[in-house]
Amino acid sequence: MNRPHIICHMMTAVDGRIDCGMTAKLEGVKEYYETLHALNTPTSLSGRVTAQLEMAEEGTFTPEQQDIFGQEGFSKKADAAGYSVVTDTKGTLLWPEQDGSETPLLILTSEQVTKEYLAYLDARNISWIACGKERINLERAVEILADEFGVERMSVVGGGAINAGFLAAGLLDEVSILLAPGIDGRKGMAAAFDGLPMETEPFHLKLLSVESYDDGAVWLRYQVKDKK
């Protein structure tokens, strides 16, 4: 299987929680971005919820017709050293027109995306990949990223559901955690890996390195043993 080297990189509180509003109040934010840069992953991938909060325009795409794409495909609008990849299973996020960014936007959808949404992306000069009958086929998506977009190294930067999806699919090579010196503690807040079925067995890691900082933050880097 030809795919990129994939590292999940997250900033968490000591209790593993990842709410951005919470982590922004803790020491370690500067180190999070420094360590992300140090991982040398020109391409990064975010889940739909994270992208909606931090990247996309306000609102939801509502197609006038429900004509489903219904097949695998991709559209490459730019050659780049790295891409800003966003998962959006059925195509709901709104985006501005792309204007030659160094890290162009690339949307991953399932085959349940509407033709109208893909045309919307085309009109905004946004690259896309559609694969997976009902849900995004992550294995196939990373193959296309490698073969058609030249992606060799990629970071997955949340949220918890997409991180867990890559972990469960055996597609993570490393886990990189910037551990902030603080605790969230609030009920029901998302963790770095979240939402897998209760019968899921633990995933085994091998510690690669530990680095501490003067402000109390700690950078933990692990190799994932359970991978394809």
Same domain, 81 and 133: yes
pLDDT score, position 33: 97
Q: What are the pLDDT tens digits along the chain (228 aa)?
A: 899 999 999 999 999 999 999 999 999 999 999 999 999 999 999 999 999 999 999 999 999 999 999 999 999 999 999 999 999 999 999 999 988 889 999 999 999 999 999 999 999 999 999 999 999 999 999 999 999 999 999 999 999 999 999 999 999 999 999 999 999 999 999 999 999 999 999 999 999 999 999 999 999 999 999 777
How many angstroms separate the CA atoms of 13 and 27, rounded? Answer: 10
Same domain, 32 and 77: no
Element (H, E) at 117: helix 115-123
Same domain, 57 and 34: no
pLDDT score, position 71: 98
pLDDT score, position 99: 84
Same domain, 55 and 143: yes
Same domain, 166 and 197: yes
| pTM of the entire predicted model | 0.96
Q: Which residues span the domain enclosing 22?
A: 1-42+152-228
Same domain, 67 and 93: yes
- Starting from the edge strand earliest in sequence, which strands make up the sheet with 73-75, in order? 73-75, 127-130, 105-109, 84-87, 43-46, 153-156, 5-12, 174-179, 218-224, 205-212
pLDDT score, position 4: 98
Same domain, 55 and 144: yes
CATH of the domain at 20: 3.40.430.10
Token pair 């050659």: residue: 79
Same domain, 52 and 130: yes
Same domain, 33 and 50: no
Tokens in use for 27?
A: 């020491």
Same domain, 52 and 146: yes
Of 150, 183, 206, the last residue of a domain is 150
pLDDT score, position 128: 98
B/e letters for 32-53, b = 16+ CB within 10 Å, e = fewer, are beebbeebebbbbbbbbebbbe
Counting the structural domains of the chain, the total is: 2
pLDDT score, position 126: 97
Residue 32 CA from chain centroid, whole number? 16
Which residue, among 71, 92, 74, 70, has the nearest Cα to 83 in the 3D structure? 74
pLDDT score, position 169: 96
Same domain, 163 and 215: yes
